[in-house]
Chains A and B, each alone.
Chain A
Amino acid sequence: MSHHLWLSRLAFVFVSSISFVSVVNMIVDPYGVFHFVAKPHFNIVKRHVASDRMTKLYYLARIKPRALLLGSSTIGSFESTDLERYAPAPAYNLALGGMHIREIHAYLTHAASRYPVKTVVIGLDFFGFFGHDANHELDARFVPERLRRRIYVEDYLVALFPFDTFVRAFKTIHDNRGDQRGFQYVDYETGTFLWNRANTVGPPRHSIDEYRMKQLCEIYSTHWSSRVVENVRYVKKMLEFAESHQIDLRLFASPSHLTSFALIARMGLGTLYARWHRALAEVTAYYDFGGANSITNDAGNFIDTLHLKPEGGRLIFARLFDDRSIPVPADFGVPITQATVDNHLAALQFDHRPARRFECSSIRSPS
């Protein structure tokens, strides 16, 4: 065979292979970017967790929500339909894994500038106020350009070409045939993070708990804690934005299981935690669902140490929107204002003992 002919055949095989993969990726659309084909039992359900920052944005554009839930995965399990009891439908859970307060602000302004958002509920996490480090693996996932540009070409390239996407396409088809085996996934239609109950391949609960504690250890020990109070400015910005756009904005400090709350004391961050609450109280009134209370004391109320079950979200909405028809434990959700914050902090029991079995240096990834 001549070299010329060999080159032609090489080019043919190469272009055909790339085209085949791209066409499959575009049709199955595992990241929900194109939405050309949406067939039940084929590709209608997209559940890839790691693509949440990309995929939720494209679902947002299709759903055009009127109510939003924003925050880290600590509110990821909350069901948007529960929020629709108190806010105009459709509601969307825009929680993203490890969402930083800067990112919450960016997503709020993005969504509310493009869609008819009237109600926003934001869960605030202490760890979400630590210094945002673009070089840290968690924070590096936030891509401001994705929100600024009308068309973010990189997303289309990622959705079209990579071999990973091709593999994900087959997993998507598999998921849609009812054989979902991942132990965690996202229902992108509502934005809710889900746990696959039937799953038998996922790590055991204690292993996930340890992993969550490790994530907190990393954030508490590697991020700039000096930025915590300074970053409250994003809350102030969001309040101003909400006022100017006539948005009903409700804020609360997210609950987590007592062990992860105890880690704050264990790592010597109790004073900073108090300063964070005081800084928040200076700019707005909010509810605190954290600390020790009848919900956070019981590990059974949590999927793992950081993540409350959806019923907890229902209780939080009832408290935020003053729904007396749902019985909420009296100690779950303390209203905080500048006048009450000191009393509230004085009543918090900073006990590091529940976290004493966790050693930040030796915790492994779940196996």
Chain B
Amino acid sequence: MASLKTYSVENNGVNARRKNSSTTPNARVVACETLLGAVDDTTRRVLFEPLSMLFNSYEFLFLFLPLTLGVCFYLASAWNPLLPRYWLLLASLIFYSWWNTRDLPVLIVSVILNYTLGARMTRLAMAQGSLGRRRRLLALAIALNLAILGTFKYGGPLGHGLPLGISFFTFTQIAFLVDAYRGDAKDYRFVDYALFVTFFPHLMAGPIIYHKAIVPQLEANGFGRPSSANLALGSFLFTIGLFKKVILADTLAAWANAGFSKVDTLNFVEAWTTLSCYSLQLYFDFSGYTDMAIAGAQMFNVAFPSNFHSPYCATNIRDFWRRWHMTLSAFLKHYVYIPLGGSRNGAWRVAAAIVATFFLGGLWHGAGWTFVTWGLLNAAAVLVYDGWRRTKVRMPSLLAWSITFLFINIAWVFFRARSFSEALALLRALVGYNGIVLPAPFARFIPSESPSLTYEPNVSAVLGHIGGSIYTFLWVLGGLMLALTVRDVDDLAKRFTTTWVSAILTGLLAAVTILSMTQPTQFLYFRF
């Protein structure tokens, strides 16, 4: 046989993915898939086409935000106080339709429709008008909102994908409509109402805001005027949020997505690592977005409500829901749970209200049984916790935290899985159905003859299906430490001080984060 001598090698294409040196639309699609896993064509169109500007993009950081702030400050200082509001309304619509104007008509129609109906109810309420007429108007308005939301979110009409942020702007406006019906809303200017709904920091993924808290701030004298205190605090909080998204969430996403794309083959350690990565990714992604939203509003002198309060520190499930996506929890409590008789009319009625609230909460995230299951699991956990509370037995804090954290993680399996079969496959892997693989040094302590417990030479081999290594564990541990010890935005804002050290650390953190931002990736909550 002929024989050859020297060596050479090829370009390892797959390893190039995470370090891809291109920022093209194609690369962006790949990066998005890295975040959420492979999806069908329709979902890909909905999720991955760059429709809106992202906070973690160069165009937002170096073009949109400075320009919007600069023009707003100039108009607020030199001209009619209404001008900055018109300017920000225009800027918000540009932000929303930066890459694609496809969804803009849906947003505009929704705002006009709700303003018209809400203003009509407000005027009727102010004039002590017929309650029956207001009720009919409210029913009509809510029906129209749910029809629009249902059509786009659950009906998938005419090949039109899910308009970005539709769940958020619909819920924001339903709250306004209910308050208008109750006579709790004022007769706002259209520009103020439209800006309240479309204000770019919260438009895509919340936090869900209330007209009573926000519109007065838009009408206030200081709105849009330069404030070095708010700019400093905004810069600090924005940097923290960007760091959470770009460095923490996007790094953990690579392992989480690799695991969720191969649930059938994961061993025990891989399955738990996948789930841990996803839990932390979801928290850092969404809370990072919220931090940036709050920071962005702060720069215009608008205070947004906080959305997270160290949720993974919760020691029971009710505590968790008081700390996680707080504005959605508050919305569901005020507009679903309490009207359904929660906390008032007997144990069965309360239980039914809890189940209905979590059922709707699950459905709000998506029209899939996995989301409904996730919601119902949480409802069941709340009911179990309520039952336990009645026994008056006090559980040690560490045990309570462990049970709560474990449950939250297991429930995320249904939240993230694309189907029941995928969720069940991961659950099977989590209990060792596909076998347990440990690094070889463990063989000294846990010798095994069983085929279900095997050994690999190193951690990289143990985590082979998710492309992990010893660093994966370090990222998970580090992420968990941060999630448990570093405060969320409210506490950070209180502790913020203008010192040399904070200026240097914030500047360095911002530089490292922005320089790590080679491929902007979509936020997880943009899909809801």
Contacts and interface: CB of A to CB of B under 8 A. Distances in A.
B24 A309 contact: no
Contact of B30 (A135, A194, A195): A135
Contacts of B19: 50, 164
Given A135-B29, A135-B44, A309 B10 contact: no
B30 A3 contact: no
B516 A163 contact: yes
A49 B185 CA distance: 62
A2 interface: yes
B11 A186 contact: yes
A195 B228 contact: no
Contact of A76 (B8, B21, B26, B511): B8
B518 interface: yes
B16 A141 contact: yes
Interface string A6-42: 1101111110111001000000000100000000000
A63 B7 CA distance: 25
B11 A164 contact: no
Given A1-B498, A4-B228, A10-B235, A195 B8 contact: yes
Contact of A364 (B4, B465, B502): B465
A304 B9 CA distance: 8
Contacts of B514: 18
Looking at B10, B19, B507, the one whose CB has the most chain A CB atoms below 10 A away is B10
Interface string B492-528: 0000001110111011101110111110000000000
A151 to B, nearest CB: 15
A197 B480 CA distance: 41
A135 B21 contact: no
Contact of B504 (A9, A31, A310): A9
A215 B14 contact: yes
A52 interface: yes
Interface stretch (A114-122, A153-161, A270-278, A317-325): A153-161
A2 B507 contact: no
B368 interface: no
Interface stretch (A225-233, A290-298, A342-350): A290-298
Contacts, number: 226
A54 B27 CA distance: 14
Given A13-B508, A13-B511, A49-B12, A143 B500 contact: no
Contact of A193 (B10, B16, B231, B461): B10
A13 B4 contact: no
B515 A73 contact: no
A142 B13 CA distance: 11
B41 to A, nearest CB: 9
A361 interface: yes
A365 B469 CA distance: 12
A365 B154 CA distance: 38
B270 to A, nearest CB: 11
Contacts of A52: 11
Contacts of A13: 503-504, 506-508, 511
B460 interface: yes
Contacts of A31: 21
B350 interface: no
Contacts of A304: 9-10
Sorting the interface of chain A by its residue count into under 10, 10 to 19, 20 to 34 or 35 or more gives 35 or more
Interface string B450-480: 0000001110110011010000000000000
Contacts of A73: 10-11
B507 A3 contact: no
A215 B1 CA distance: 28
Contact of B510 (A14, A193, A300, A303): A14
A2 B500 CA distance: 11
Given A54-B22, A137-B30, A141-B13, A197 B235 contact: no
B77 interface: no
Contacts of B24: 143, 145, 154
Nearest to A306: B10
Given A14-B507, A158-B22, A97 B498 contact: no
Interface in A161-184: 161-166, 183-184
A140 B356 CA distance: 44
A163 to B, nearest CB: 4
B507 A303 contact: no
Nearest to B504: A13
Nearest to B29: A135
Interface of B: 1-17, 19-24, 26-27, 29-30, 33, 44, 58, 228-229, 231-232, 235, 265, 456-458, 460-461, 464-465, 467, 498-500, 502-504, 506-508, 510-512, 514-518
29 contacts: A1-B498, A3-B229, A6-B499, A7-B232, A7-B235, A9-B507, A13-B503, A13-B504, A13-B511, A17-B508, A17-B511, A18-B514, A31-B21, A49-B16, A50-B16, A77-B9, A97-B12, A135-B30, A140-B30, A143-B26, A143-B27, A166-B515, A195-B7, A197-B6, A300-B3, A303-B7, A310-B6, A310-B8, A312-B4
Interface of A: 1-7, 9-14, 16-18, 21, 31, 49-54, 72-74, 76-77, 96-98, 134-135, 137-138, 140-143, 145-146, 154-155, 157-158, 161-166, 183-186, 192-197, 215, 294-295, 297-298, 300-304, 306-312, 315, 329, 332, 361-362, 364-365, 367
